């Protein structure tokens, strides 16, 4: 009789984990969650913002802010060792050697004043007995393993000299340098375009297969879940409400909350086209727009020459009519945001025309000349945390623009109180500060602030990319409602092709500063003509899954 194979010990085993805030009246953040991750397995934590996903990862890494939060019960076992009872020195030793983390924004995790090489060297210096030459060789090998071009150049570079995708590859190289048993990835691809995202996800899977690493993957992107997960845990308000193999949860969700999350995922199939209004007036017309950036070092300036020039926008032309939404899609560095910044005159165009209501604003100079044009075109940025002043109450932020243009305070406050209700918030919101709102609520406030200027055009630059799917759906519905009510023209910049398919009337695809394809969204996204457009669509995460129907799409990979 042969001996039965023993079950594999989980790399991470969490049992009845409870976390609460500190203080006289503690709030429960995690309410007794339990799950395991086996070697070589990827477990995805999904759920809305505030569900407890990131807190779970911080507890597992021993990075819980102890002055704000505390674990009040349960166990967190890493290869059988309880993280909650380990000493700070032991937890520090485990980080990097046995467990590692990839954060959402590498620019906040990398030191901007140190070269990539020095920061990579620190990983080996802290956890190994390698000599300097050996550490450099190991770093270069790690960079090569994550497919970074020219590892020697990367080693000598500073973070700002790398692209977003390259910085994220550096973070992955650092995380996996010592071959940890557990890798935690907290929204590692949220800010990346679809092609870079696909590369990063493939890279994580490739390295995971080589090292048999257990991966805890936190995301709000259900497309990513389809592509990377073996199992899924759906979290809500500090609890796991549903768990199981990925196809089972996505095809046969048992909980209403899970079904609601899946229904909120926008489809890659373009919506039915809206009939344009008869004689729709073009409020924006851009002709042959050019924008070139020049980069000089101090030595170059002394020698009287530029180091290099980059043509960020190259001969771009388009029209945008009232009541219509034009989407600009493309990879990072394609020129999408530069076009928007030129339209807003936050950048001075190198050439071409920018006509708003027939007036060419490309050559206007000075605040007095630009103020009327800027009032007609307003922007909603990706991150409302950066665009809202944390020291100003919401009411003061909303009326700041109108006051600068001469409107009296009483009139501006009256309009602000009306607008916060238009975007679905109570009038009492005017007395509160930005940090007292959720991410989705702050984005609603940013939309209200743009509307305070009574614009004719709204430019939304990745305005919903950082939001979870249910809040994203609410904000997109709000934008559509306001657009219809006010007959606004919307220029929507996004790397999320699902969002573009559901809200855009026309789509313009940019690559390296040029427009490679444009036309009705139903044509460009359903029957793309250009190879680059097809590559973007093929790279979209979860493109072979119909979330509404809960099944795979036949022939999606064709």
What is the three-state SS of 302-339?
HCCCCCEEEEEEEEEEEEEECCCEEEEECCCCCCHHHH
Rounded to the nearest 10 degrees, what angle do helices 132-145 and 164-176 cross at? Answer: 120
pLDDT digits (tens, 9 = 90+) for 337-351: 899 999 999 889 999
Rounded to the nearest 10 degrees, what angle do helices 439-451 and 409-422 cross at? Answer: 130
pLDDT of residue 187: 83
Q: Is the pLDDT of residue 125 over 70?
A: yes
Q: What is the mean pLDDT of the chain?
A: 87
Identify whether the C-beta of residue 528 lies closer than 8 Å to the C-beta of residue 537.
yes
Confidence of residue 6 (pLDDT cuts 50, 70, 90): very low
Alpha-carbon distance of 412 to 194, in angstroms, equals 41
pLDDT of residue 138: 93
Comparing CA positions, the residue from 78, 84, 85, 56 lying closest to residue 182 is 78
Comparing CA positions, the residue from 248, 272, 250, 276 lying closest to residue 261 is 250
Alpha-carbon distance of 123 to 130, in angstroms, equals 11
Q: Which tokens is 472 given?
A: 């994203």
User: To the nearest whole percent, how much of the chain has pLDDT over 70?
Assistant: 94
pLDDT of residue 303: 57
Q: Dihedral (C-alpha) 540, 541, 547, 552: value to the nearest 10 degrees?
A: 90
Alpha-carbon distance of 490 to 325, in angstroms, equals 5
State the average pLDDT over residues 96-115: 84
Comparing CA positions, the residue from 490, 493, 489 lying closest to residue 461 is 493
Alpha-carbon distance of 2 to 374, in angstroms, equals 79
pLDDT digits (tens, 9 = 90+) for 141-164: 989 888 888 889 889 989 888 877
pLDDT of residue 5: 45
Comparing CA positions, the residue from 456, 463, 425, 460 lying closest to residue 441 is 425
Q: Which tokens is 285 given?
A: 């017309």
The full 3-state SS of 519-530, as one line of letters, equals: EEHHHHCCCCCC
State the average pLDDT over residues 296-317: 70
Confidence of residue 4 (pLDDT cuts 50, 70, 90): very low
Q: Is the pLDDT of residue 30 over 80?
A: yes
pLDDT of residue 65: 85
pLDDT of residue 3: 45
CA separation, residue 461 to residues 251, 464, 492 (Å): 33, 9, 6
Comparing CA positions, the residue from 482, 481, 385, 478 lying closest to residue 434 is 385
Comparing CA positions, the residue from 364, 324, 384, 458 lying closest to residue 49 is 384
The full 3-state SS of 201-220, as one line of letters, equals: HHHHHHHHHHHCCEEEEECC
Residues 39, 126, 14: CA angle, nearest 5 degrees: 30
CATH of 9-98+180-267, one of 3.40.50.620, 3.40.50.80, 3.40.50.300, 3.40.50.10490: 3.40.50.300
Identify whether the C-beta of residue 362 lies closer than 8 Å to the C-beta of residue 327.
no
State the average pLDDT over residues 290-310: 66
Residues 539, 289, 383: CA angle, nearest 5 degrees: 55
Confidence of residue 440 (pLDDT cuts 50, 70, 90): confident
State the average pLDDT over residues 166-176: 85
- Residue ranges with strand state E in 83-212: 99-102, 182-186
State the average pLDDT over residues 386-398: 89
Give the domain ranges of the chain.
9-98+180-267, 103-178, 323-348+361-539
pLDDT of residue 254: 93
State the average pLDDT over residues 402-420: 91
Q: Which tokens is 280 given?
A: 């729709």
Q: Is the pLDDT of residue 240 over 90?
A: yes
More confident residue, 201 or 165: 201
Instruction: Check if 9-98+180-267 and 323-348+361-539 are the same fold.
Output: yes
Confidence of residue 412 (pLDDT cuts 50, 70, 90): very high
Alpha-carbon distance of 356 to 361, in angstroms, equals 7
pLDDT digits (tens, 9 = 90+) for 251-277: 999 999 999 989 888 888 888 888 776
Confidence of residue 373 (pLDDT cuts 50, 70, 90): confident
Alpha-carbon distance of 514 to 531, in angstroms, equals 14
Does domain 323-348+361-539 correspond to CATH entry 3.40.50.620? no
pLDDT of residue 296: 59
Of the given ranges (1-15, 342-356, 393-407), which has the lowest mean pLDDT? 1-15
State the average pLDDT over residues 437-447: 84
Alpha-carbon distance of 389 to 411, in angstroms, equals 22
Q: Is the pLDDT of residue 517 over 50?
A: yes
Alpha-carbon distance of 258 to 207, in angstroms, equals 30
372 in helix, strand or coil? helix
pLDDT of residue 221: 84
């Amino acid at each position: 009789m042969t001996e039965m194979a023993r079950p594999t010990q989980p790399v991470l085993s969490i049992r009845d984990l409870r976390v609460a805030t500190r203080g006289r009246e503690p709030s429960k953040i995690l309410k007794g969650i339990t799950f395991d991750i086996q070697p070589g397995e990827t477990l995805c934590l999904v759920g809305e913002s505030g569900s407890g996903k990131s807190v779970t990862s911080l507890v597992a890494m021993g990075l819980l802010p102890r002055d704000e939060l505390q674990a009040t019960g349960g166990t967190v076992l890493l290869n059988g060792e309880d993280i909650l009872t380990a000493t700070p020195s032991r937890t520090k030793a485990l980080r990097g050697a046995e467990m590692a983390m990839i954060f959402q924004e590498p620019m906040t995790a990398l030191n901007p004043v140190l070269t990539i090489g020095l920061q990579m060297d620190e990983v080996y210096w802290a956890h190994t007995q390698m000599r300097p030459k050996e550490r450099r060789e190991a770093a270069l090998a790690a960079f090569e393993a994550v497919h970074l071009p020219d590892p020697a150049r990367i080693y000598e570079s500073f973070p700002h000299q790398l692209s977003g995708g390259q910085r994220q590859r550096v973070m992955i190289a650092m995380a996996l340098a010592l071959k940890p048993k557990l890798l935690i990835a907290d929204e590692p691809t949220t800010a990346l375009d679809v092609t870079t995202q696909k590369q990063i996800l493939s890279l994580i899977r490739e390295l995971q297969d080589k090292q048999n690493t257990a991966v805890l993957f936190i995301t709000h992107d259900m497309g990513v879940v389809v592509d990377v997960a073996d199992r899924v845990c759906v979290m809500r308000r500090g609890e796991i409400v549903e768990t199981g193999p990925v196809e089972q949860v996505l095809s046969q969700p048992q909980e209403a909350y899970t079904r609601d999350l899946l229904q909120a995922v926008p489809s890659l199939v373009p919506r039915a086209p809206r009939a344009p209004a008869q004689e729709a007036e073009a409020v924006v017309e851009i002709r042959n727009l050019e924008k070139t950036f020049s980069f000089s070092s101090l030595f170059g300036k002394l020698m009287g020459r530029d180091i290099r020039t980059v043509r960020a926008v190259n001969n771009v032309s388009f029209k945008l009519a009232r009541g219509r939404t034009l989407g600009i899609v493309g990879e990072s560095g394609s020129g999408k945001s530069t076009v928007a910044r030129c339209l807003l005159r936050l950048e001075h165009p190198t050439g071409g025309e920018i006509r708003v209501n027939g007036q060419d604003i490309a050559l206007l100079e000075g605040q007095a000349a630009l103020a009327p044009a800027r009032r007609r075109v307003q922007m909603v940025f990706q991150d409302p945390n950066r665009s809202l002043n944390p020291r100003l109450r919401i009411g003061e932020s909303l009326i700041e623009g109108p006051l600068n243009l001469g409107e009296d305070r009483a009139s501006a406050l009256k309009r602000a109180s009306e607008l916060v209700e238009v975007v679905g918030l109570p009038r009492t919101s005017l007395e509160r500060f930005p940090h007292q709102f959720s991410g989705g609520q702050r984005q609603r406030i940013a939309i209200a602030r743009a509307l305070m200027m009574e614009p004719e055009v709204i430019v939304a630059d990745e305005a919903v990319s950082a939001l979870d799917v249910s809040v994203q759906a609410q904000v997109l519905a709000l934008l559509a409602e306001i657009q219809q009510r006010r007959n606004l023209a919307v220029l929507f910049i996004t790397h999320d092709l699902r969002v573009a398919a559901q809200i855009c009337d026309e789509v313009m695809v940019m690559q390296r500063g040029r427009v490679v394809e444009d036309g009705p969204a139903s044509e460009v996204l359903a029957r793309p003509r250009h190879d680059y457009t097809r590559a973007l669509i093929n790279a979209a995460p979860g493109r072979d899954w119909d979330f509404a129907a809960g099944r795979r799409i036949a022939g999606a990979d064709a």
